[in-house]
Structure 1
Amino acid sequence: FIESDEAPSFAAPQVFFSSDRRLATFEIEPSSPPTRSLVGVPLTVTVVDGARSLEAKVDPVAAPSDATSLIGMLLIALLGGVILNLMPCVLPVLSIKLLGILGHGGGERAHARWSFIASAAGIVASFLALAGVAIALRQAGLAVGWGIQFQQPAFLAVMVLILLLFAANLWGGFEINLPRWLLDRTPAGEAQPSLTGHFLSGALATLLATPCSAPFLGTAIGFALARGPLEIVAIFAALGIGMAAPFLLVAVWPDAVLRLPRPGRWMVRVRVAMGVALAGTALWLLMVLVEQIQTAPTAQDQASAPGAITWVPFDSAAIQPLVAEGKTVFVDVTADWCITCKVNKLAVVERGEVARRLSAPGLVAMRADWTRPDVAITDYLASFGRYGIPFNAVYGPGVPDGIALPELLSEQSVLDALARAATTPAPAGG
């Protein structure tokens, strides 16, 4: 209830709870249009829950404008893009990044600067392309998610081919040259033809490094996909600039790489090694492609090893009945192409105390495989405001609506969530 001597009466409130039920949002409309601003008008708010009630006096403040919210989210997107460089998902493209750095040792400042600008441009261009795809999918009424390109066999096949071409390029099979129309518009220098390669390397690194979510990235993506095309483009551009930040910093201060040893015979061996790494990445994507084409494995198949956690197939409709029985439910949304998911599994979920807890009586471990498109899983992620993986959530008597865990798991974060979920709340009214 809201009361005030200086404000009109209010209609019944609409209440919205956060996923962990620790935050309630009340939407309350005036019964009639106010004749004055309510900012600064003292209000008495009374919240009633059964036999309990709480009364407090509040002074309304002006809501932040959409522009303010967008600016704040752009900053979050920038930070998320920077952090994406540190996520395990970038492992397949480390060879591309390292080679781009090592190749400038002892070179010219202008050449180094333009090369890193080209790499940064490739990264941002890829993010803008992903934004365009997201907008097109939304306009078509299709599900949108982060990294969903890895669910498409055609995309994987193209990536395998491109990676093999890059590997062949590193092994000296051929060179990538600029088209004449672009060559005429770049600064003079003997290394001009490599700018196209740097641009394509940046674009490829982005496409391969974005199958997994990251801290702050999920928040920014959720904000963008809940709004219009302009916000989507702005947020994705900010993510791209954030991921390209290391390249832009080197472009501003190229001396950081010019002090490296000048390329020589040792660089030939490095190129061969990096080519092997790219070929290995192509092999990994080929294995993911084969898994997608074959029959999907069941969750029970994934738990066939002795002592492994017994995973049951994901079923969102079964969660609440299990919680009503007093059980704790741990949901793991994963995919074959999600490297961060595999890191979480090997480092936290399937080892030590966490594995023992997930195998204990009264706990149900539920796994959702998002390797292929699955509308039920996409909708489930969206219910938490998430559009990418890894994603883990815990349900129980203490958190019947579930609590989402961070993208990078730690043993303590999982154990704390399990303990909180298993706690039976005190009955209302004492």
Structure 2
Amino acid sequence: MKKIHLSRKFWLVLNIALVACALMTQIAYANPVNQHWELYRSDTPTRGGYLAVLWVTPQKEAHLYGNPPGDTGLPTTLSVTLNGEEKKTAYPPGKAEPDTFEPNKTIFAYETETPLFVPLMPGELQNKEATLNGTLKGLLCTKTSCMPIQMPTAFEAGKAKGETLKSAESQPWWREYRAALSMSDGQEAQKSHATDLHETQGFNPQFTPQYFAPGFEVTGLGKALLLAFIAGFILNFMPCVLPVISLKISALLGGAQEEDEKKRIHTFREHNVFFSLGILLYFVFLAGILSSLGLAWGQIFQKPYLVIGITALIFALSLSLFGLFNLPVIDLKTSGTSKSPRMQALFTGILATLLATPCSGPFLGGVLGWVLAQPPLIVALVFVFIGLGMSSPFLAMAIFPSLAKRFPKPGRWCGYLEQGVGLFLLATCVYLLSIIPQSLLIPAMAFMWVIALAAWIWGQWTSLSQSALKRWSIRAAAAALVVAAWPLLMQADAPEPWAEFQATQFEELLGKEPIILDFSAAWCTNCKALKKTTLTPDKLQKWSKEYRAKLIQVDLTDHNPDGMKLLNALGSQSIPVVAIFPKGDRSKQPLVLRDLFTSSQMEQALASHLKK
């Protein structure tokens, strides 16, 4: 009964944590783009009338793709009507810069408040009820993820006309508006920005800079070692990551569990020594990685799969603190029952330092700028001093173990402390999941659920009354469940083999070549399931080569009139749908597969309809 009661508590806490994670992620996108309208009068003879301006402002540290967007991305579009007539929108050029996710491609971005221009004729606002109605569409991207936006917008331009209007020609953006009008098809804009980017890449300025705080600029090894030690020490007082607080508590209480004073001091000293060793080992390892691969400080946290892996480890630690199961090596419990207290302290130190890595950046700017350009041995030495600085309080406690006397003796408060630390770790999981790309959020949460299931099996299906073989067989099965779930849920997206659907191109190919046509959309869950199981890139390439078939995909994520007409012609109103068009006269009789189907069914359909 006690285990059942514990399991119910655990699943309640787990569900609350997962719901909180989803809510926290959505809150970040609650108001992705701010917008407001303004109306100006235009006194230019050829452009007389009014000019409605929609100001769009992306959320902080995000950008919209311009119109044109550049080499990648979806363009920002404003579709508006007035009195039932569609009005033309003029788009200013965006800022030319490398794309965040594909640095080899150039985009034109709207990063700050940007005007979108809608010119109006004088007679169009005679009615005070005249209202501009439309939709703002685009692709909003942060440094970690992108999301499509589709926002309604409305402006009572007729009422605004009655106010005292400013002259458009006197505004600082007037030249930008005239330039936007001249870029009706966007080709001139792309050419202009490509030229600008080329000139920027050739830009080679030379300066002799002066620094505001020259005392913190590193010019030699001695100063680098001193600042590295100080920065490492300061890390202990800058808990910018929640787990660091929790793991520090674990380290300080490591020696507080023995009743006998001598054993208590010995355990306290041993725990701090091995905790410090874990810190030093991590910094030596990090020095090797950064110097050999040329990575920037903290850049490991830009790898989403590594972030998910760290999140999974922290999530497992939190489950162990709630008593669901016991980790074999890294165990943060204060019960003192660990079979390997030295290894526990060592790995706890490594984990604490891994999570504290981003905190070091603000204190190491000058040091890192100098040291990462030095030989590997110098890099390693400086990083060891960072580790010595961070571990210095723990080494001091190991040298003066009498500090252990100041810690309270074990009691019921230890259990409350463990659960509090567990809540800190769950909050950290919420934060880490919020920084991964949006496309990986659902797979990552599913992986956390698998870890919880495996932890429950590990801890609740085994007991010391079982034979060692049975107990470890069950635990091995739980671990295998986690290992098997990772490649299934975390499959990296391979290059898409599909060609984009174009109505004219499709009509030209029809009957001349075999065609495998797929209907998909970003919002279609079943489409994603097919992509992971049946329509994988390797299988598609195999089928395309075997039957010499053209692979074409109709994307229905946004409004696609031609795509919908083709879907309706195939007798369908929903997706996923795959249609197989043979070559020759039978091309007018395609074979259609609906909804979910297996690879064998797909192969059977291809063999029956495209056989040579």
Indicate the TM-score class for this superposition, using the shorter chain for normalisation: 0.3 to 0.5
Larger Rg: 2
Q: Normalized against structure 2, the TM-score is what? A: 0.34
- Identify the structure with bigger relative contact order (alpha carbons < 8 Å, sequence gap 6+): 1
